[in-house]
Amino acid sequence: QKYNFGMIGLGTMGRNLLLNIGDHGFAGAGYDKDATKGALLEEEGKDIKVKGFSDIKEFVASLTTPRAITMLVPAGKIVDSVIEELLPLLDKGDILIDGGNSHFADTNRRVEYLEDLGYHFFGMGISGGEEGARRGPSIMPGGDKKAYSVMKPILEAIAAKVDDVPCVTYIGQGSAGHFVKMVHNGIEYGLMQLLSESYEILKNGLKLDGDSIQKIFAGWNEGRLQSFLVDITADIFKYRVPGSDHLLLDDIKDEARAKGTGKWTSQAAMDLQSPIPTIDTAVAMRDLSKYKALREQAATLYSTQETEKLDVDQDKFLVDLEQAFYFSMIITYAQGMQMLSNASTEYNYGLNLSEIAKIWRGGCIIRSSFLNDIYNAYEKDEELKHLLLYEDVANLVNETIPGIRSVLSKAVANGIAIPAFASSLSYFDAFRSKRMPSNLIQAQRDFFGAHTYELIGKEGVFHTQWVPKNGSEI
């Protein structure tokens, strides 16, 4: 028996992907040093064609050629050591796929290294967590386009489907797949932060209990905010500590962890000079949350009184909050898409933004009904320079502005921190400005460093001696 697809790393994600492959009639082989994982795979997949190996040579020999082997191992040095272990066993033309969340710069390095040796290397973003891997993830493969044809039938079979369309497409050359997955995660960070700020407003601003908050999120998910993250958030407010009436959420420490993909998105955006302030804020707030001891100390100095209940008409305010979330969600996606557009030019990825929005509509963590609007925008206008410049999107944004302004002003006046909402609105207000106050920055730079400035309606660069030397009057 030969196997069509190989998987290295049989943790839950690896096993689930192989089971998914087996479900679709392909034969999948898995390798893990830990033989119990292979045994577990065979046990879980006893009715389908999957086999576990703990000997890497036997594993490689069991695969049809050209081989397609996916690594699902932790990002970083382990990927390099697995590659080195595999290399002597491979034939030229074989395809190695890194299905983890590797940094795109590492992927570029590996593509180059392996291509020189005659192998294909794919950086492939996979989103959807354990459940997605098992039932259908969103898949973002990047690498050599010709080699993609070997993987395509299997990936299309196992990917999530929206209206029968598989949530996988060839993303682009080099590290394009991992870059797009990284930005997906940046958007994920932004949306999660916006949801946690919504929770803060509902709990601390409106003083609502868990059941009421649950109903509000569940209601959002019935309408235009329908999305995986809103849906699971509503479910979190249902879960009680077994045998009690108590929400588990209330017992969870308020220190958010991160594996780094959000930070990488912000770092890469800075390199591209592509502003994504909502996502940056989400990264910063996870970091700030970790300073628990300092926050507690500061609270004794500055938060001596309970936050007062917002003095608002609750029903009207909830309408505003729904608008505020919709507004900020649009801004978050818009920042991410703009970053992809800039990266495509800068790194020659050849990204197709409508295809990317299309494969994000199902399977992945940021799937939402708004992705249909994004897909339509980039599909109808291939030259679209920014999502906010698309008329249908502008109409949605215009309609939600009263809500975001109202929510923000109430929260600010009451000392409730909602920085991602604030950042989204300020990004928008600056983006729609014909004139920003940046002329003053240019004047200051020229003042202290003779960095020069440009003048409106006049060619060239200029420098001014802003105050007379020797201290005399101007």
Annotated binding site for substrate: 101, 127-129, 184-185, 189, 259, 286, 445, 451
Does residue number 129 form part of the binding site for ligand 6PG (CB under 6 A)? yes
| 146: annotated active-site residue | no
Q: Concatenate the DSSP letters of all residues of 462-474 into one string.
A: E----S-GGG---
Does residue number 127 form part of the binding site for ligand 6PG (CB under 6 A)? yes
CB 60 within 8 A of CB 38: no
Distance CA 287, CA 279 (A): 13
Complex with ligand 6PG: residue 262 or 403, whichever CB lies closer: 262
Chosen residue from 107, 175, 261, 344 binding ligand 6PG by CB under 6 A: 261
CB 143 within 8 A of CB 177: yes
Chosen residue from 22, 128, 143, 362 binding ligand 6PG by CB under 6 A: 128
Does residue number 74 form part of the binding site for ligand 6PG (CB under 6 A)? no
Does residue number 186 form part of the binding site for ligand 6PG (CB under 6 A)? no
Sign of the dihedral through C-alpha 190, 191, 193, 198: positive
CB 160 within 8 A of CB 136: yes
Sign of the dihedral through C-alpha 39, 40, 43, 49: negative
Which residue's entry shows tokens 């109808």?
Answer: 380
Report the b/e string of 287-307 with b at 16+ CB within 10 A. Answer: ebbeeeeeeeeeeeeeeeeee
Does residue number 71 form part of the binding site for ligand 6PG (CB under 6 A)? no
Chosen residue from 29, 155, 194, 365 binding ligand 6PG by CB under 6 A: 365
Distance CA 284, CA 206 (A): 25
Region 385-424 residues binding ligand 6PG, contact defined as CB under 6 A: none
Chosen residue from 364, 377, 397, 404 binding ligand 6PG by CB under 6 A: 364
Does residue number 280 form part of the binding site for ligand 6PG (CB under 6 A)? no
Q: Which stretch binds ligand 6PG (CB under 6 A): 2-10, 123-131, 427-435, 446-454?
A: 123-131
Q: Which stretch binds ligand 6PG (CB under 6 A): 32-40, 124-132, 315-323, 457-465?
A: 124-132
Q: Which stretch binds ligand 6PG (CB under 6 A): 207-215, 254-262, 314-322, 406-414?
A: 254-262
Determine the residue with CB nearest ligand 6PG: 127
- Decide: helix, strand or coil at residue 87: helix
Chosen residue from 62, 107, 175, 185 binding ligand 6PG by CB under 6 A: 185
Share of the chain residues as helix, strand and coil, in percent rounded to the nearest 5:
60, 10, 30
Catalytic residue among 37, 51, 181, 358: 181
Cβ of residue 397: shortest distance to ligand 6PG, in angstroms? 26
Does residue number 279 form part of the binding site for ligand 6PG (CB under 6 A)? no
- Decide: helix, strand or coil at residue 29: strand
- Decide: helix, strand or coil at residue 434: coil
Distance CA 435, CA 222 (A): 39
Q: Which one-letter amino acid corresponds to residue 187?
A: I
Q: Which stretch binds ligand 6PG (CB under 6 A): 48-56, 258-266, 324-332, 403-411?
A: 258-266
Catalytic residue among 37, 188, 203, 322: 188
Count of alpha carbons within 13 Å of 469, Cβ hemisphere only?
A: 2
Helices within 117-209 (DSSP H only): 129-135, 145-158, 176-200
Answer left, alpha or beta for residue 146, where phi above 0 means left and psi between -120 and 50 means alpha.
alpha
Cβ of residue 184: shortest distance to ligand 6PG, in angstroms? 6
| 181: annotated active-site residue | yes
Chosen residue from 23, 98, 188, 373 binding ligand 6PG by CB under 6 A: 188
Positions that interact with ligand 6PG (CB under 6 A) = 101, 127-129, 185, 188, 258-259, 261-262, 364-365
Catalytic machinery residues = 181, 188
